Chains A and B, each alone.
Chain A
Amino acid sequence: MQYVNAFIVGGVICALSQILIDKTKLTPARILTAYVVLGVILTAIGLYKPLVDFAGAGATVPLIGFGYTLAEGVKTAVAESGLLGVFTGGVKAAAGGISAAVFFGLLTALLFRPADKS
């Protein structure tokens, strides 16, 4: 059952990350950065694809999945267009997420009020 797998795998990834937050001094920026790079590495050595097949969104929604998207994109693009693909594949595959984050971030800033500092 894909929903159960997504819940459990996604939950475990987040629970393990909580150990990093509680037990180390890693800031959110460092954790997220490490996760994206980790996602690229795990995908490169072939370990992440099986998890995506098993857990679906449970593996792609955590930020490690963003690294997976980048790496898969590069791999496909290199197969199609060689050296050029090295530079185009990653961002092309992740374009939706990057553009959405930028656009909705800007929209949020324009439409809403900052939190009360009181």
Chain B
Amino acid sequence: MDLTPQEYEQMVNEQSKPSPLLRDMVWAFVVGGGICTLGQVILEFWKKTGLNEKDAAAATSITLIGLAALLTGLHVYEKIAKHAGAGTLVPITGFSNSVASPALEFKSEGLILGTAAKMFIIAGPVLVYGIGASIVYGMILVFLGV
């Protein structure tokens, strides 16, 4: 292959620097997959203590939410999230972070209108439309007589 030094340099640059999207996706995959694997470890632990499948899943969510709130308070979660993007947003730990982070940051506006009101800035819409959708689903089940 005949390449000028400039062409060669360009080629090397293209190969060594993954596109931002690809790099972001790898981060999201590894961190998101890691959080889910940790979830599986916690799930197996709760099952071993004798909880049934459903209760163990609920206990796992509570454990992950508690851990994520703690890491949010220590300002560690946001540092991981800077690289991990969707990897820290999409797992339930991201939901916990979306509650704990504004609860903490808006403390200066008071415990009622700051902490308590602002903690639902993202969780609010999630609950409104999640619960709403589940009720629509339930209505359909009732009317179909399933």
Q: Are A18 and B61 interface neighbours, CB within 8 A?
A: no
**Of A14, A39, A61, which contacts B31 at CB under 8 A?**
A14
Candidates B27, B69, B135; contact of A74 at CB < 8 Å:
B135
**Measured between alpha carbons, how far is A63 from B29 in the docked complex, in Å?**
15
Determine whether the beta carbon of B131 is less than 8 Å from that of A6: no
Find chain B residues with CB under 8 A from A9 CB. Answer: 36
Interface residues of A in 87-118 (CB under 8 A from B): 87, 89-91, 93-98, 100-102, 104-109, 111-112, 114-115
Asked if B41 is an interface residue, CB under 8 A from chain A, the answer is yes
Indicate if the CB atoms of B65 and A97 lie closer than 8 Å.
yes
A22-B24, A78-B141 known; A70-B65 Cβ under 8 A: no
0 or 1 for each of B41-69: is its CB under 8 Å from A? (1 = yes): 11110000000001001111110111001
Cα distance, A108 to B78, chains bound together (Å) = 14
| Known A11-B32, A18-B28; contact A70-B99, beta-carbon cutoff 8 A | no
Q: Which of B49-97 contact A (CB under 8 A)?
A: 54, 57-62, 64-66, 69-70, 72-75, 78, 85-87, 89-96
Give the chain B neighbours of A95 by CB distance below 8 A.
Answer: 58
Q: Which residue from chain B places its CB closest to the CB of A76 in the assembled complex?
A: B54
Query: Quick check: A7 and B130 within 8 Å, CB to CB?
Result: no
Whether B113 is near chain A, meaning CB under 8 Å from some CB there, is: no
Q: Given A10-B91, A104-B69, A19–B25 Cβ distance below 8 Å?
A: yes
Asked whether A12 is an interface residue with its Cβ less than 8 Å from the other chain, the reply is: yes
Known A74-B141, A105-B99, A109-B100: A15·B32 in contact at CB below 8 Å: yes
Mask of A50-90 contacts with B, CB within 8 angstroms, 1/0: 00000111101111011101110111011100110111011
| B91 A115 Cβ-Cβ under 8 A | no
Bound complex: CA A83 to CA B78 (Å): 42
- Chain B nearest CB, measured from A102 CB (Å): 7
Given contact pairs A66-B130, A101-B65, A106-B103, enumerate 14 new A-B contacts (beta carbons under 8 Å): A10-B33, A11-B33, A12-B29, A14-B90, A17-B90, A21-B86, A57-B42, A62-B90, A65-B92, A67-B133, A104-B65, A104-B69, A104-B99, A108-B104
A and B contact pairs by CB, cutoff 8 A, 21 listed: A11-B28, A14-B28, A14-B87, A17-B28, A21-B89, A28-B89, A28-B98, A36-B129, A37-B129, A60-B60, A61-B92, A63-B92, A82-B142, A91-B131, A96-B58, A97-B58, A101-B96, A105-B103, A106-B116, A106-B119, A114-B108
